[in-house]
Amino acid sequence: MGFYTVSNVEDMRICVVMVGLPARGKSFISQKIVRYLSWLSIKAKCFNVGTYRRKVGPAHPDADFFDPSNKEGSQVRQNAVTEAVKDMMAWFSEENGVVAILDATNSTKERRRWVLKLCRENAIEPMFLESWCDDKELILRNISDVKTSSPDYEGIDPEVATKDFLRRISNYEKVYEPLDSDCDKDLTFVKLINVAQEVIVNGIQSYLESRVVFYVMNLHIRPRCIWLSRHGESVYNVEKKIGGDSSLSPRGLQYAEKLPEIVRKSAGDVNLTVWTSTLCRTQQTAQHLPYKQLQWKALDELDAGVCDGMTYEEIEEKYPEDFKARDDDKYEYRYPGGESYRDVVIRLEPIIMELERQENILIVTHQAVLRCIYAYFMNVPQEESPWMSIPLHTLIRLEPRAYGTEVTRIKADIPAVSTYKEKGTSKLGESSSDATAKFRNLLNGAPPSA
């Protein structure tokens, strides 16, 4: 319930114009915003000018290419941004885009005024988002990310790449004009200073803009992990029933007993906080964990409404049309008197926001809820996420990195029934699409802009 109804944003179009020197985390922030909004069903896309530049210019340009006095380089870069903006405008008008991110340095006032004018001519609300940073350590970490992951330095010796990249940054510094509360009073902008140590927000117009601002304000880049687990096998699981508030089966209780050891092996001495739902089976699963525990109503299982407590076979028999409708569009299908996956995503939004703020959290919750949380971190599209396999008695460890999330699955080696229902049948069995999940082991983002 944390967010917009879909129709609420339909007549709004926002262009988030990134601003900042190279190695200030612009691409990282851009991709996180796109992922967050997409997860909330708000159509968002990142237009990375670096990618366009590599299409129209040299594949591995050195720092001289970025010297403001280099006429040829400047022309190529101007062509690149022009192409990116052209594609962005087409995306807004032909594909009904809602939030575009123009990921580039946009380092001069002149360039920003040019983007501003184009946006205004096309009835698009521009919001400038500057990442300003003078924290040496932070910059060095970003440089190290770029030199290892940017296509600009593919196949180039890391030491050479670092030196060249530092020269590139100084070339940008020659002309860089930060956003300024006085001169840019008329713009809608957000200035993040050293990630979000200080944030300056100017002239925010819409709720959607304010949500993006709140989201980026909550980001941090301290290393951390998130652990996810379903509750142990429950009595209802064994009876093939969905929903309810049943206790754990004997095997589920075994999992609860083993969980502290599995967690300790994965997390070491890190001090975790455990989040459970308000339902009995998650709390029983977490009962032996030696950490602080919090219950969230928002982590309760997808509400199956009138079908709560039934088996899939019963649902197929009693509500054949609903049964089919759910298989046809599982993300949107709402049980009579209950919820859809979309509803669950909306109520999980504050959980995601809090997860972004926190460091080391272990979440013990339910199949549908975990699918939604997993989809956020792994960028799984809506049509796929409700079909992901998240087996019982398995601990999942997510490690968010600069350009993706690493995932590790640790099986507890305690047998459990499968609760995975294939499309088009009421039978439960191990999922063949487990393979899909396995291949999503690293989130692929756009290459970092440089």
Q: Which residues bind its own copies (CB under 8 A)?
A: 1-3, 5, 7-8, 181, 185, 196-204, 207, 210, 213-214, 217-218, 245, 294-298, 303, 308, 336-337, 339, 343, 346-348, 350-351, 354, 357
Is 237 known to sit in a ligand binding site? yes
Q: How far is the CB of 237 from its own copies (least distance, A)?
A: 18
Closest separation in Å from C-beta 445 to its own copies: 25
* Residue among 122 and 293 whose Cβ is closer to its own copies: 293
Query: Which stretches of 209-279 are assigned E, i.e. beta strand?
Result: 226-230, 273-276
Q: State the Cα–Cα distance between residues 359 and 166, nearest whole angstrom.
A: 31
Set 103, 145, 152, 303: catalytic member = 103
Considering the complex, state which of residue 149 and residue 246 has its C-beta at the smaller distance from its own copies.
Answer: 246
Residue 301 appears among annotated catalytic residues:
yes
Query: Is 233 marked as binding a ligand?
Result: yes
Closest CB 7 distance from its own copies, rounded Å: 6
| Minimum distance from residue 372 beta carbon to its own copies (Å) | 13
Nearest distance, CB of residue 132 and its own copies, angstroms = 12
Quote the distance between the C-alpha of residue 374 and its chain's center. Answer: 9
In angstroms, the Cα distances linking 47 to 65, 90, 103, 119, 301 are: 21, 12, 6, 14, 36
Catalytic residue among 67, 130, 152, 231: 231
Token pair belonging to 346: 């909306």
Nearer to its own copies, 63 or 193 (CB): 193
Looking at the Cβ atoms of 68 and 350, the one nearer to its own copies is: 350
Instruction: Determine which one of 152, 209, 301, 349 is catalytic.
Output: 301
Kindly state the tokens that stand for 70: 């280099």
Amino acid at 233: E
Please answer whether residues 220 and 357 qualify as being in contact, where contact means their C-beta atoms are separated by less than 8 angstroms. Answer: yes
d(CA 221, CA 138): 9
Question: 23, exposed or middle or buried, with CB in 10 Å at 0-12, 13-18, 19+?
Answer: buried
Please, what's the b/e burial string for 306-333 (b: 16 or more CB within 10 A of its CB; e: otherwise)? ebbebbbebbbeebeebbeebbeebbbb
* Beta carbon of residue 97, minimum distance to its own copies (angstroms, whole number): 21
Pick from 221, 36, 255, 33: nearest CA to 137: 221
Query: Cβ closer to its own copies: 345 or 380?
Result: 345
Q: How far is Cα 277 from Cα 285, in angstroms, rounded to an integer?
A: 11
- From the list 112, 103, 128, the residue with the least C-alpha distance to 403 is 103
Bridge partners (DSSP) listed for residue 19: 130
- Taking the least distance from each CB to its own copies, the nearer of 87 and 356 is 356
Residue 173 annotated as part of some ligand binding site: no
CB of 443: closest distance to its own copies in angstroms?
25
Q: Is-contact 422 256, C-beta < 8 A? A: no
222 HSE (CA, 13 A, CB side): 11
Which residue's CB is nearer to its own copies, number 308 or number 422?
A: 308
* Beta bridge mates, 276: 295, 364
Q: Does 234 appear as a known binding residue?
A: yes
The answer to whether 300 touches 369, Cβ cutoff 8 Å, is yes
Instruction: Find out whether 235 is annotated in a ligand binding site.
Output: yes
Active site residues: 103, 231, 301
Which positions make up the binding site for substrate? 230-237, 281
Which positions make up the binding site? 230-237, 281
